[in-house]
Structure formats: structure tokens, C-alpha cells
Amino acid sequence: MQQLGPIELAEGVRRSHAMAMFFAAFTTIGLLTFVSVGTPYVLNENLHIPPDEQGRVSANLVVWTEITQLLTFTLFGVMADRIGRRQVYALGYFVMALGYALYPYAETTGELTLYRIVYALGIAAATCMLATVVSDYPREASRGRMVATTGIFNGLGIVLLTLVFGRLPRWFAQAGVDDLTAGRYTHLIVAAVAVLSGLVVAFGLKPGLEVRKEERPSIGHLLVSGFRAARNPRVALAYASAFVARGDLVILGTFTNLWGQAAALESGLSSSDAMVKGKMLFVVAQAAALPWAACVFFLIDRFRRVTGLALCMGLAAIGYASMYLVVNPLDSSSLPLFALLGIGQISAFFGATALIGQEAPLAERASVIAMFNFCGAIGILVTSKLGGYLYDHVGPPTPFVMIGILNLVVVAAAVIVRARSPGPGPREAGTTVLT
């Protein structure tokens, strides 16, 4: 058994494999969320969509993203259980790179939707593999620490990549490049980072499969395993938490960037300057999540997973509901609320990921986690469509309040499951499960 710092690694997993996985965690979610920063720029600079229509257009793009993922999550999960994690992960990065390279050349909403679908194919493969590898690599006693450490790299990637990529259009504009071309250069650089990341996982992650060939389930068995696993009430709860938690980050990214850039444009800033100003809300949320990520593993490794999930989703409910109090998103008095939003989002993500990682059986893990992601995609599909309508017709805070209410529903479900089927506690030498 090898160990990386305080994390005990599963049999056959080397430190180099875990380090490659942490690099992938750094880039995967950062690349995923940049589309939320880049889309308002393309809507304003390429397509000249009026601000009062951008909520609907953005929501439609998210809907197509999630439809694509709904149709492919299970496929990628089955592929990973049959041919290996790193092959599917690398493919995801390369397809994502193609989507980003095409995105800033859209001249109509139809073209933009097509390129968004290409991006979505890559994201479906990459995020499914990230969740699977995070579940594969730790020993059970270290699962919370692995999830929390991965979350820290997620957060660092989101903050640093968003800061750097978000400033590129203004840097190009200051160098004399027009705004349209500046956006294209930026997206091509993002695509290059995706290609580099694909090469890292292709050569750095653990090769082979998690089970021997003679133990490997048939494709038909894998296709139905995700549904069958829901007979376990804790797996069903994890699927329900995915419906909300996997959508939290996308909703946060979509509507904070849209809200921030719209407010910046209303104040008279140019598109490139508004992109820089508007993304700071998202950066504040993610920057606040980073130190919290270093603490939240206590909830995951010291409590039963179901109890930890209830606490994490409760924090998310508070964070998202707090957006109701925001009047001007660019006012400094609003920043603590966006920080609370980030803390809630990352807590929900950790709680859901730890629970499904514990409950998914090894031989079917990628397929069960694919179903977990499938449920998350359905959640994004429903909440983004409804959120876009609420954003345009009721007000910018309302998509967040809606998500806050859904988090409360999952808290109630977790309390019921905790009473009826609490499941095993995460046990290790010298550690006591608190409740």
C-alpha cells in the first residue's frame, strides 16, 4: 500500500497516478466552468444578443449540454468499465478542446448550440472519469481526504484558470486586438490547455481495469447496473443529491457570470472589461470554497456518509438562499454572500461524491457513477431551464433561491435515510465515527 501525504491509496495505485489525477482535477472543472465565463462574451460580442434575452439563450445552451450528457454518460461509464479509465478521460479532453476551438467562431445561435454540443461530449467523458477515478484511488478510510483534496484542486483550477483565461480578452484588447479576435484567441488558448491535459491523463493515470477480465461484467449487465443499484436507499439518496449538487456549480457559474457581466455592461464598461469585472463574483465564490475544502473532510471522514451529506446539503441551502438578499451584485457588501454561496456549493459536491464513492460496487463503479452523473445532468437540465426563465422574468437572484429549496428537499430525504438505513461509518484505526 502506498500513501500520498495523509491519503492511503488503494492497492495498485501509485503516487504518480494520484498526482496525475490531482492535475486532472485542477483542469477538468476549471475547463468546464470557463464556458460560463466565455458564453456571455460570445453572446455580446459575436451574436449581439440583448441583455434581457441572454438568460433564455444561456439556459437553452445549458439544456443542450445536459441532453448531450444524458445520452452519453452511461456510454462513457460502460466504456470505462470495459476498456479503461484513462483512455476515456483523454478522449474527453480532446473533444472538449475541439468544442472550445470552434465556440468563438459561431455566427448564429444555431452554430453556437452545435459547438456547445461538441464541448458537452468532452465534458461528459471527462467529468464521469474524474468522479470514477476519485472513487477508485483511495482506501475507504481515506475517501473523505481524497474527495476533499480533489475538491481543493478543483477549486484552485476554477479560480486560477478563470482569473487567467478571463483576463486574456482584455490583455489582447490592450495589445491592439479587436474584441472579437481577442475572444477567439482566448478560446484557442483554452483548447490548447485541454489538449495538454488529455496527454497528462493518457500517460499518467493508472493503466488497465479495476477488475480482472474474468470478473468483468457484460455490457448488458453494466447498462442496467446503475438502475439496479438504486435498490440501495443510500445509492438512491446519492442519485437525488446528484440531481441538485451536480447542478450547483453549473448554475452558480452560469448565473453569477451572467448577472455580473450584465451589471458591468449597464455601468458602461466594454465587453472585455465587463468580462473581467463580472467573473469576479464567481472567483469570490470559488476562492471562499478553497479554505473550506480543507476542513470539510471532517464532516465526511468522521461522520457517516449520509449524515455528512445532510450537513453539506444544508450548508448549500443556506448559501443559495442567501442570494435573495443581494441587490447589486457588484457592490462590495454582496461579496460575503457570494463567498457563502461558494462554501455551500463545494460542500454539496463533497457530500454527494463521498456517498456514491462508498456505495458504488467496484466491478460496476464507473457504470453506477455514470448513473449518478446522469441524475446530475437531469437536475441541470430541469433547473437551468427553469432558472433561465426565472432570471429573465422574475429577477437574477431567483435561480439561486430555487436551488436552495431543492437542497432542503435533499436534506429531508437524507434525514429519512439516516433513520432507516444509515449504512457503515468510515472506520480507520484511531478514528471514531461520531454519528
* pLDDT tens-digit map of 223-266: 577 778 888 899 999 999 999 987 777 778 778 878 887 888 88
Q: Please check the confidence at residue 411 and state whether its pLDDT lies above 60.
A: yes
pLDDT of residue 93: 97
Report the range out of 28-37, 46-55, 121-130, 138-147 with the highest average pLDDT.
121-130
Contacts of 286 (CB under 8 A, 6+ apart): 155, 158, 159, 162, 342
The SS3 assignment for 336 reads: helix
110 class by beta-carbon count within 10 Å (0-12 exposed, 13-18 middle, 19+ buried): exposed
User: Can you give the pLDDT at residue 220?
Assistant: 57
CATH topology for 10-207+229-420 is Growth Hormone; Chain: A; (1.20.1250)
Residue 407 has pLDDT above 90, yes or no: yes
Q: How confident is the model at residue 214 (pLDDT cuts 50, 70, 90)?
A: very low
Kindly list the domain boundaries of the chain, sorted by start residue: 10-207+229-420
Query: What's the chain's average pLDDT?
Result: 84
Mean local confidence (pLDDT), 36-62: 83
Backbone angles phi and psi of 7, in degrees to 5: -100, 120
pLDDT tier, 418 (very low <50, low <70, confident <90, very high otherwise): very high
Q: What is the mean pLDDT of residues 54-59?
A: 81
pLDDT at 427: 53
Does the structure show a pLDDT above 90 at 283?
A: no
pLDDT attached to residue 170:
84
pLDDT band at 435 (very low <50, low <70, confident <90, very high): very low
pLDDT digits (tens, 9 = 90+) for 317-328: 999 999 999 888
* CB-based contact 423:234 (threshold 8 Å): yes
**pLDDT score, position 110:** 92
Residue in the structure block whose three cell numbers are 435498490: 231
Q: Is 139 exposed, middle or buried (0-12, 13-18, 19+ CB in 10 A)?
A: middle
How confident is the model at residue 431, as a pLDDT? 38
In the chain, pLDDT over 90 holds for what percent of residues?
Answer: 30
Choose between 295 and 264: higher pLDDT: 264
Q: Is residue 106 over pLDDT 80? A: yes
Retrieve residue 262's grid coordinates.
450584465
Residue 271 to residues 15, 44, 111, 178: CA-CA distances in angstroms? Answer: 44, 7, 21, 11
429 confidence band (pLDDT: 50, 70, 90):
very low
pLDDT (tens digit, 9 = 90+) per residue, 354-391?
888 888 877 677 778 878 878 887 887 788 778 888 88
Residue 275: pLDDT over 90: no
